[in-house]
Chain A
Amino acid sequence: MKHLSEYRSGEIAAGLAERIAALVEPGSSYKLMEICGGHTHAIYRHGIEDLLPAEVQLVHGPGCPVCVIPMGRQDDAIAIAEQDGVIFTTFADMLRVPATNGSLLDAKARGADVRMVYSPLDALRLARENPDRQVVFFAIGFETTAPSTALTLLRAGAEGANNFSIFCNHVLVPPPLRAILDAPDLQLDGFIGPGHVSTVIGTQPYEFIASEYRKPVVVAGFEPLDVLQSIYMLLRQLTEGRCEVENQYVRVVRREGNERALAVIEETMEVRDTFEWRGLGFIERSALGVRERWGQFDAERRFELPGTRVADPPACQCGEVLRGALRPWECKVFGTACTPERPIGTCMVSSEGACAAYYNYGRLERRSERTPA
């Protein structure tokens, strides 16, 4: 497709890499966080780090929605799935996330009716087809995914679907960024902003990063040239002493976002007072729950949940990886006890997880050469 090949040209990539290298001042270092798991995946898949000078270091952020869900919420999901008469629907990545007593796939093996869907609208269709069953959708994802859940709630309301509900775990991107910026153990120079989240929320919600924390942000697309151009734009800001929110992904992102998408979220969901993130702890106003008016579709109101907080396995260092304090290969169990086939932590489960991205694209050896232990 014209659209893709234009953004994957090796020749243009080499030119951009040269321009990036030319901006680097000898003796300085640039620590840039890619917030979004989609970018982490793109960076390792396309070998983008290998095109960058050693002075430019990319740090992975908390932007994998599978990775940030704490184990207690996964236990709650399994508790719902194991209730009589329930059809529990989920995106594929959540199936293998380990909880206290195994994953949703293990629950399915024990007899729970767990099904994979591509969209919450598919879960609503299942509810229509199975009027004598309770169909629950495991709603997970950032602002990119919340509009899809919100539209589904609106349609469920219009249909009067009394056997459909969602277990809402939608999380928001800006609040954890503030938590990371306030953390003492990480000094970052700039951010590669999440492209698809920003199609929904726009670029305005990141402006506090530039105005309050004096760090540049460039909202980026997901093709290799998008990422390289964004790194170039960040380095230009840094070398020119600017800190602004710039938009590299102009083909789909507008400053104000998609107002209709924001409106459907606002109508059906509200910001929770607080929510626990794996590795980051409780962050105020960082997640969405179902509005009371739509409470009949809220699995947290419909089912009794254990709601217990569960500590991660002692060997798991996903928390440090999610904060960018530790790189995947520095984790004690990376690639040995924890692999995509038998993950201990969430970062190894999702294809957007930093550990899975490292593992799957074999970047471990090269990175070890570049970065002394």
Chain B
Amino acid sequence: MDACSCITCGDVAIVARVVELRGQSAVVECDPPSRGAGGAREEVAVELVAPVELGEQLLCHAGVALERVVQ
């Protein structure tokens, strides 16, 4: 799912990679080809999936990481 749909509302979540750890939060970055959202960074709460590691891909929705993505 990419940025042309509402990223906050409804059953839409985006996959983003952990680039920085900040206690109960992490800064995540969308990888480039996910169109408009590519490269965008956002701080998300990670309590629901902790512990997370740098480089992990998380499914994020409304400022919260909901699940880690298993490739």
Instruction: Mark each residue of chain A from 323 to 354: 1 if its CB lies under 8 Å from any CB of chain B, else 0.
Output: 00000000000000000000000000011100
A252 touches B33 (CB 8 A): no
A92 touches B8 (CB 8 A): yes
B18 smallest CB distance to A (angstroms): 14
The answer to the question of A1 belonging to the interface, with a C-beta cut-off of 8 Å to chain B, is yes
A166 smallest CB distance to B (angstroms): 12
A141 touches B59 (CB 8 A): no
A222 touches B64 (CB 8 A): no
The answer to the question of A216 belonging to the interface, with a C-beta cut-off of 8 Å to chain B, is no
B70 touches A261 (CB 8 A): no
Chain B residues with CB below 8 A from A141, complex form:
9-10, 62
| Residue ID in chain A nearest B70 by CB atoms | A251
Bound Cα distance from A196 to B69, whole angstroms = 12
Chain B residues with CB below 8 A from A42, complex form:
1
Bound Cα distance from A261 to B4, whole angstroms = 27
Centre residue among B12, B15, B45, B70 by max chain A CB count within 10 A: B12
Instruction: Mark each residue of chain B from 45 to 71: 1 if its CB lies under 8 Å from any CB of chain A, else 0.
Output: 101110000000101011110111111
The answer to the question of A260 belonging to the interface, with a C-beta cut-off of 8 Å to chain B, is yes
A200 touches B15 (CB 8 A): no
Chain A residues with CB below 8 A from B6, complex form:
91-93, 350-352
Bound Cα distance from A144 to B7, whole angstroms = 12
Chain A residues with CB below 8 A from B66, complex form:
144, 147, 196, 199-200, 252, 258, 261
The answer to the question of B13 belonging to the interface, with a C-beta cut-off of 8 Å to chain A, is yes
The answer to the question of B23 belonging to the interface, with a C-beta cut-off of 8 Å to chain A, is no
B38 smallest CB distance to A (angstroms): 8
The answer to the question of A264 belonging to the interface, with a C-beta cut-off of 8 Å to chain B, is yes
- Which listed residue (B11, B47, B63, B71) contacts A251, Cβ 8 A? B71
The answer to the question of A319 belonging to the interface, with a C-beta cut-off of 8 Å to chain B, is no
With A144-B66, A151-B64 as given contacts, are A118 and B8 in contact (CB-CB < 8 Å)?
yes
The answer to the question of A64 belonging to the interface, with a C-beta cut-off of 8 Å to chain B, is yes
B59 touches A252 (CB 8 A): yes
Chain A 200-215 interface residues, beta-carbon cutoff 8 Å to B: 200
A64 touches B32 (CB 8 A): no
The answer to the question of A38 belonging to the interface, with a C-beta cut-off of 8 Å to chain B, is yes
A222 touches B1 (CB 8 A): yes
- Which listed residue (A63, A119, A260) contacts B62, Cβ 8 A? A119
B22 smallest CB distance to A (angstroms): 13
Chain A residues with CB below 8 A from B63, complex form:
118-122, 148
With A38-B1, A199-B67, A251-B71 as given contacts, are A261 and B48 in contact (CB-CB < 8 Å)?
yes
The answer to the question of A66 belonging to the interface, with a C-beta cut-off of 8 Å to chain B, is yes
Instruction: Mark each residue of chain B from 1 to 38: 1 if its CB lies under 8 Å from any CB of chain A, else 0.
Output: 11011111111110100000000000000011110000
The answer to the question of A37 belonging to the interface, with a C-beta cut-off of 8 Å to chain B, is yes
B69 smallest CB distance to A (angstroms): 5
The answer to the question of A103 belonging to the interface, with a C-beta cut-off of 8 Å to chain B, is no
Chain A residues with CB below 8 A from B69, complex form:
3, 251-252
| Residue ID in chain A nearest B12 by CB atoms | A38
B11 touches A196 (CB 8 A): yes
| New A-B pairs, 11, CB < 8 Å, besides A145-B61, A260-B48 | A3-B15, A4-B34, A5-B33, A65-B10, A65-B11, A120-B63, A147-B64, A196-B61, A199-B67, A251-B69, A350-B6
